[in-house]
Structure 1
Amino acid sequence: MTVSLATVLAESAHRRPDHAALVLDGRRITYHELWRDARRYAAVLRGHGLGPGARIALLLPNTAHFPLAYFGVLALGAVAVPVNPLLRAEEIAHVLRDSAAAALICAATELGEGAEAADATGTPLFTVAVEREGGAPRLDVLAGRAEPIAAEVQREPGDLAVVLYTSGTTGRPKGAMLTHRNLVTNVATTMLSPFAFQARDVLLGCLPLSHTFGQICGMSTCFRAGATLVLMPRFDGPRALDLMVRERCTLMMGVPTMYLALLAAARSDPRRPPLDRVFSGGAALPVAVLEEIRATFGCPVYEGYGLTETSPVVAYNQPAWPTRPGTVGRPIRGVDVAIARAEVEGRIELLPAGEVGEVVIRGHNVMAGYLNRPEATAEVIVDGWFRSGDLGRLDADGYLSIVDRKKDLILRGGYNVYPREVEEVLTRHPAIAQVAVVGLPHERHGQEVCAFVLVRPGIRADAVLAEEIVAWARTRLAAYKYPRRVEFLHAFPLGPGGKVLKRELLSRSGR
């Protein structure tokens, strides 16, 4: 049996050649054009000596060059190594060295950092969308004159398709090795459920394509269905709302910070797109925000859960089952989820329904391991289960609730405090737009609960409001849970997938 993730695009190009695959700045690119030009990219790379198994890094923003290069690399039988465009040269160089990248494809907007990293590591460089002549080979220009390769190179199911680097919340980022089997199966499964994609759907592509949520759940699943992806180079609430209205988007995938910005835009813009459903992931979506999205846009909101290491989808609320706000739904087909004792290492001890422990996963979606990290792989893949590092519980019907990250748990005076639970309560305060709760060192209690807050427009953030929030929380949370300290921010530090970087909040606290 052979397989290729490139068939996600190839098959839709055969079925729907004249249908719009991609919309960007008003330009429409059909499936035939996108697949033809991706194979042209592959022809140029092959002409430079690159072939099956070569790891090719992509330092590209949300433009048409990303899917062209991505599927061109896959069509060649090579391995795509997407790189977050926000990284600096030293961080990019780490990815190039660690992945043993045979080449780097870099856009003009990232050329300064990318070229510096390529020089430092001796990695051959290709550029796209660069106006000046000379320098590195211009992949897009050369592709315009190239004859496309005839068809995608087939690979074995266990061969690597993509290496995705984790955000590196602790230590250097690690490369999660995802196989063709991992990704083809996850895309085919989630296209049907939870995402229920149909060829008529129009998806707002506001998530970064370098990240697993935008790349696999968004772009790849959309292309597998033969639907249309309306791409945004950079997310902005008012622009997203306008784009969805103009392009008549039926579907959106985003992280909570995006939905908060979209709701803010909707308060001053009465227009509404014909959204049929929206999906949230990447971080916890407060139930109050879910309810506001549903009321504002008149469509169901489905929250789910996944990780880079699980290709990525693990579980989701979905149209086929009753939605339970506050949960991330049930596992997708072919994936098992259980709860294990978090404090036990080296083996898996499963817990019964209703108890809190570490979320563990097994199935077709679990990565082949961390690149060059056998010890790190052995730590997280135990007895056939992947240890997620997230704390959760399963109810009697199999719905999964994510309580928090293991490392974010606050231990105050001997009691466990789960930040997400506190955040859910605080989000309902009328002055609070967004909140993140962390534990700060404390001499007497071990840790103290601190809430970092963004206030709603027109609200004055001062000591009086901080005291009011503390008093308000005291009446709604147990004595050991409510925050004794409130700090106000103008913006949260965000990672590449839109998650709040709590480690940076800790450093900002001065503790």
Structure 2
Amino acid sequence: MTGGATLSAAHVLADTARLRPDATALVADGARVPYGALWQDALRYAAALRRQGVGPGDRLALLLSNTAEFPKAYYGALAAGATVVPVNALLKTAEITYILRHSGARALVCEGALLAEGEQAATAARVPLLTVAAPGPAPAGPLALDVLAAGTPPLDAAVPRAPGDIAVVLYTSGTTGRPKGVMISHFNLVMNIDTTMLAPFAMRPEDVVLGALPLFHTFGQVCAMGTCFRAGATLVLMRRFSAEGALALMTAERCTVLMGVPTMYVALLQAVRDSPARPRPDRAYSGGSALPVQVLADFEAAFGCPVYEGYGLTEASPCVAYNQPGLPRRPGTVGHPIRGVEVRIARPGTADRVEVLPAGQRGEIVVRGHNVMAGYLDDPGATGAALVDGWLRTGDLGVLDADGRLTVVDRTKDLIVRGGYNVYPREVEELLATHPAVAQCAVVGVPDARLGQEVCAVVVPRPGRAPDGRLAEEIIAWSRERIAAYKYPRRVEFAGALPLGPSGKVLKRRLTADLGAPRPGG
């Protein structure tokens, strides 16, 4: 970059470290890390990366879990002027290899606990491997970046970047094919963090945030880590979420802010009934997928704090709309668009243009503003299909009310068409969440020779209820009395747990595949 305006996302951490060097930035594995020390470690990582040939514009892949090494490497890479490519820590060798090759990663930083998959992937992709938090390497083994950084003088400051330079490439889950690399600019990232830190997250220096969301995912990375560091608050990391562990950690650290996906809220509700831990957060935020209204109400009653539900997607950096402190909350909606972002409802099926619909009509959610991605990496076709007439086409169905509040109806791809009638799974899931025997559920469409698709509910029953034919018949009959005839599930299957992706979303495509051909009856 030569001349012009500069805007590095590294300053999210750097500025707070300058103003509050002694404040606690991280609590990780029992250690407390001040802001000043965290930023100096990041600058040492940046210097060590430079010695390994990683510089401005290079892409650096990170295969790291929720430890202190993540923010050190993440902000170190940004400080070096590189583009960060976070890799889902649950992926297998072939999946990691694809991301390394597609992104053109200059190197892979991998923690010791993930080397079984990471080392093979780096070898297959012919990408240099750098380790952190790993046993000492053999003479011919991979270089330990954290050891190298500890003995390297830190950079004086972050390398300047232009607002439009790419800060992060985030790979989608790949549910509709190969994962796509979403390019998020420094401008996208800084604006989303600065905006949402104020509203909806209302972060203050005295806040303590539970970092249970994976940092390799945009929700945990931007909404939890980014806004927390920008405000000078404290992030309490969990290596991996468990409801019992979260309750204990929230109580011990007196966490004031909880951010999670709906499956986390369900698990916390189940765990708190049998736990002596009684955390009292000030506020909670839900995103990633729809939070059933019943779960929201039950959580607020059990934990004594408001839950603010919102909506976003990777391509929007990620926040689009949220219920916000200071504004009336309306459960079942995702509130108003965040500052500087426009949301409209467009007529579905018009691929070459965006035709905006009046308030109150249901259609595809489209977004424009500072949060919209730069595009998909090396995929002009997908970029052109997603960015139309200046709008981001989300693929989600929703409706805006007269006051500008957004309700997300469902994903376009999850829509069930039964005998010519549209069935929105979220509506059926909201109903089933109020059944006394249902702990969790997911509604999917399964093939049907006569109707095209049939409505199937996959249910995790509450403790004490046997997952048998009698309960299935009870749920079907109960639903029939409360919802239109074409909507209620004719088929109920039971599961001990729902399959979840890395962000905690239910993997409905896996459910559909596992269900196979429909059975008669119901």
DSSP-derived class of the 1:494 partner:
coil
Q: In the aligned structure 2, how far is the partner of 1:429 from the partner of 1:352?
A: 35
Is contact 2:280-2:304 (8 Å) kept?
A: no
How far residue 402 of structure 1 moved from its aligned partner, in angstroms, is: 0.5
Give the match for residue 520 of structure 2. Answer: none
Q: For each residue in 1:227-273, what CA deviation from the matched residue of structure 2 results, as whole angstroms up to 9, or x when unmatched? A: 00000001000110000000000000000111111111110124322
Give the match for residue 21 of structure 1. Answer: 25
For residue 427 of structure 1, the aligned residue among 433, 449, 474 is 433
Please state if 1:7 is matched with 2:8: no
Output the TM-score relative to the length of structure 2. 0.97
- State the AA in 2 paired with 1:120: A
Q: For each residue in 1:181-211, what CA deviation from the matched residue of structure 2 results, as whole angstroms up to 9, or x when unmatched? A: 0000000000000000000000000000000
How far residue 289 of structure 1 moved from its aligned partner, in angstroms, is: 0.2
Give the match for residue 252 of structure 1. Answer: 258
Give the match for residue 63 of structure 1. Answer: 67
Is contact 2:93-2:117 (8 Å) kept?
A: yes
- The ranges of structure 1 where at least 4 consecutive aligned residues each deviate by more than 4 angstroms after the TM superposition are none
Q: In the aligned structure 2, how far is the partner of 1:274 from the partner of 1:401?
A: 28
Q: In the aligned structure 1, how far is the partner of 2:275 from the partner of 2:142?
A: 45
Give the match for residue 47 of structure 1. Answer: 51
Written as runs of structure 1 = structure 2, the 5 A alignment for 1:64-463 is: 64-134=68-138, 135-463=141-469
- State the AA in 1 paired with 2:372: V
How far residue 274 of structure 1 moved from its aligned partner, in angstroms, is: 3.0
Is contact 1:193-1:320 (8 Å) kept?
A: no
- State the AA in 2 paired with 1:47: R
DSSP-derived class of the 1:466 partner:
helix
Give the match for residue 30 of structure 1. Answer: 34
Q: In the aligned structure 2, how far is the partner of 1:178 from the partner of 1:132?
A: 35
Q: Gaps spanning 5+ residues in structure 1: where?
A: none
Q: For each residue in 1:301-342, what CA deviation from the matched residue of structure 2 results, as whole angstroms up to 9, or x when unmatched? A: 000000000000000001021000000010000000000011
Please state if 1:492 is matched with 2:485: no
How far residue 172 of structure 1 moved from its aligned partner, in angstroms, is: 0.3
- State the AA in 2 paired with 1:503: R
DSSP-derived class of the 1:302 partner:
strand
- State the AA in 1 paired with 2:274: S
Q: For each residue in 1:457-496, what CA deviation from the matched residue of structure 2 results, as whole angstroms up to 9, or x when unmatched? A: 1211100000000000000000000000000001111111
CA root-mean-square deviation: 0.7
Q: For each residue in 1:18-57, what CA deviation from the matched residue of structure 2 results, as whole angstroms up to 9, or x when unmatched? A: 0100001221000011000011011101011211111000
DSSP-derived class of the 1:260 partner:
helix
How far residue 67 of structure 1 moved from its aligned partner, in angstroms, is: 0.4
Q: In the aligned structure 2, how far is the partner of 1:492 from the partner of 1:478?
A: 26
How many residues are aligned here? 511
Q: Gaps spanning 5+ residues in structure 2: where?
A: 518-522
DSSP-derived class of the 2:196 partner:
helix
DSSP-derived class of the 1:5 partner:
coil
DSSP-derived class of the 1:52 partner:
coil
DSSP-derived class of the 2:143 partner:
coil
Is contact 1:12-1:31 (8 Å) kept?
A: yes
DSSP-derived class of the 1:163 partner:
strand
DSSP-derived class of the 1:97 partner:
helix
Q: In the aligned structure 2, how far is the partner of 1:56 from the partner of 1:422?
A: 43
